[in-house]
């Protein structure tokens, strides 16, 4: 499994330089307000060389580079370019997810050996970069990162900027992690980094090298998740893919009583497990959801809870998690309808593609993860709300705030 993450270099500034050739090769800063107190939201590659970057004040930028050209942002231009490189990326097989106006990730369709997948990803990465220059604009430089999950692909895209094409694999992951700092990892902000430092974790390499149970002891479940991510596991929602498999049922009489919901939950999980086995999948995550009837007007609302699973196609595992989830995050009122849905499907005969399992040199550590996985049950149930909160978009103008593009993507 390979994820390819494309990140346009100095996007807003480069787009302005593409549109106006006279700006090319010159330091450009994009700032909504061109006053000394205004803030640069994007700096061109030339400006970055002098230390001007996102967040630099306009006065400071002018001090560093007297000839810098300050321009207001023109979002419509950026959207046009986004649509064009998204169109190019949609020519490749796999699942495409825009992460921001200048970043798109592609979960490539799995197939072939690890070296074959890697070679294909690099080839496609190089082709996409070339096509953006040929078909969208010759000044548009981009960086492509490749990895076994999104986090590592994103990290790889930042590692050789600008105009980079870099893959993180088990052969170089320690080298890369030794060169970056904790806050270079998407999802670790200053506060989390400080918390990690407090318990003796000073670098991404510490997160990689410390045994998982030790990380869990020092940081709680979050530490364990970081361990898995850096070792190439696909544990985050964005890595799950949109493919899901589930069943639902309408209750003859609405109820909130877990004991009365139990037999139905059993039946649904049984059917889901049977279908997973029949279709040859194992699920890595599970959602139970339902329609709640409440209030004097008997209004309908939605209820749902999510948990990760150690990849499984067994009724025992699926029901076990679903039942714990129901007890832990019960619906606010009587359920009229209940559904069990599994995600993060992967072929059952296919081991979780992990940097870790394949890393024979570090045999002792491998036993550690096996041991941790044996006890996986302790770690798997977490509130649904927590899943998203660990994944932060680090952009100045986050895709999540660009409703226009978001609607378009939803319509794709």
Residues that bind Mg ion (CB under 5 A): 7-8, 11, 102
Minimum CB separation of residue 163 from Mg ion in Å reads 12
d(CA 18, CA 9): 12
Residue closer to Mg ion by CB (options 8, 268) is 8
Nearer to Mg ion (CB atom), residue 8 or residue 201:
8
- The tally of CA atoms less than 13 A away on the side-chain side of residue 388 is 5
CB of 120 to Mg ion, least distance (A): 24
Nearer to Mg ion, 14 or 291 (CB): 14
Handedness of CA 313, 314, 318, 324 (dihedral sign): negative
Query: In terms of DSSP bridges, do strands 165-167 and 142-147 run parallel, antiparallel, or are they unpaired?
Result: parallel
- Shortest reach from residue 234's CB to Mg ion, in Å: 23
CA-to-CA distance for 319 and 189, rounded, in angstroms? 36
Q: Which CB atom, from 8 or from 168, has the smaller least distance to Mg ion?
A: 8
Cβ 9 to Mg ion shortest distance, Å? 6
In Å, the largest CA–CA distance within the chain is: 74
DSSP state for residue 406 in the 8-state scheme: H
Q: How far is the CB of 30 from Mg ion (least distance, A)?
A: 12
* Per-position DSSP letters for 49-106, written without gaps between them: TTT--TT-BHHHHHHH-TTPEEE---HHHHHHHHHHHHHHHTTSSEEEEEEETTEEEE
Report yes or no: 152 and 173 within 8 Å, Cβ to Cβ: yes
**Pick 11 or 150: Cβ nearer Mg ion:** 11
- The CA distance from 293 to 145, in Å, is 47
Least distance in Å: CB of 68 to Mg ion? Answer: 19
Minimal distance, residue 77 CB to Mg ion, in Å: 15
Name the residue nearer to Mg ion (CB basis): 162 or 254.
Answer: 162
DSSP per residue, 205-246: HHHHHS-HHHHHHHHTHHHHHHHHHHTT---SGGGS-S--EE
Strands across the sheet with 165-167, in order?
94-100, 103-108, 3-8, 142-147, 165-167
Nearer to Mg ion, 8 or 192 (CB): 8
């Amino acid at each position: 499994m390979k994820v390819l993450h494309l990140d346009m270099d100095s996007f807003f500034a480069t787009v302005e330089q593409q549109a106006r050739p006279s700006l090319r090769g010159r330091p450009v800063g994009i700032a909504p307000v061109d006053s000394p107190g205004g803030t640069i939201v994007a700096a061109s590659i030339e400006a970055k060389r002098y230390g001007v970057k996102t967040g630099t004040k306009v006065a400071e930028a002018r001090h560093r580079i007297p000839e810098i050209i300050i321009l207001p942002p023109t979002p419509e231009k950026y959207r046009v370019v986004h649509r064009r490189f998204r169109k190019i990326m949609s020519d490749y097989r796999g699942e495409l997810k825009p992460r921001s106006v200048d970043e798109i990730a592609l979960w490539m369709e799995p197939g072939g050996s690890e070296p074959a997948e890697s070679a294909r990803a690099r080839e496609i990465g190089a082709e996409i970069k070339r096509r953006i220059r040929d078909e969208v604009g010759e000044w548009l430089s981009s960086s492509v990162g490749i990895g076994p999950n999104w986090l590592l692909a994103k990290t790889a895209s930042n590692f050789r900027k600008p105009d980079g094409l870099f893959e993180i694999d088990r052969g170089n992951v320690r080298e890369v992690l030794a060169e970056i700092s904790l806050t270079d990892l998407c999802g670790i902000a200053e506060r989390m980094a400080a918390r990690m430092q407090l318990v003796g974790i000073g670098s991404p390499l510490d997160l990689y090298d410390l045994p998982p149970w030790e990380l869990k002891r020092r940081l709680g479940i979050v530490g364990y998740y970081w361990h898995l991510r850096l070792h190439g596991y696909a544990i985050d929602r964005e890595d799950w893919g949109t493919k899901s498999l589930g069943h639902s049922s309408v209750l003859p009489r609405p109820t909130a009583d877990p004991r009365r919901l139990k037999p139905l939950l059993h039946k649904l999980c049984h059917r889901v497990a049977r279908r997973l086995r029949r279709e040859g999948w194992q699920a890595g995550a599970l959602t139970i959801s339902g329609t709640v009837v409440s209030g004097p007007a008997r209004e309908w609302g939605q209820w749902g809870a999510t948990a990760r699973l150690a990849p499984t196609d067994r009724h025992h595992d699926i029901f076990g998690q679903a039942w714990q989830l129901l007890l832990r995050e019960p619906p606010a009122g009587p359920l009229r309808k209940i559904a069990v849905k599994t995600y993060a499907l992967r072929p059952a005969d296919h081991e979780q593609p992990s940097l870790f399992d394949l890393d024979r040199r570090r045999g002792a550590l491998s036993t550690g993860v096996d041991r941790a996985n044996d006890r996986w049950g302790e770690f798997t149930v977490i509130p649904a709300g927590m899943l998203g909160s660990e994944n932060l978009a680090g952009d100045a103008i986050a895709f999540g705030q660009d409703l226009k593009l978001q609607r378009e993507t939803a319509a794709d």
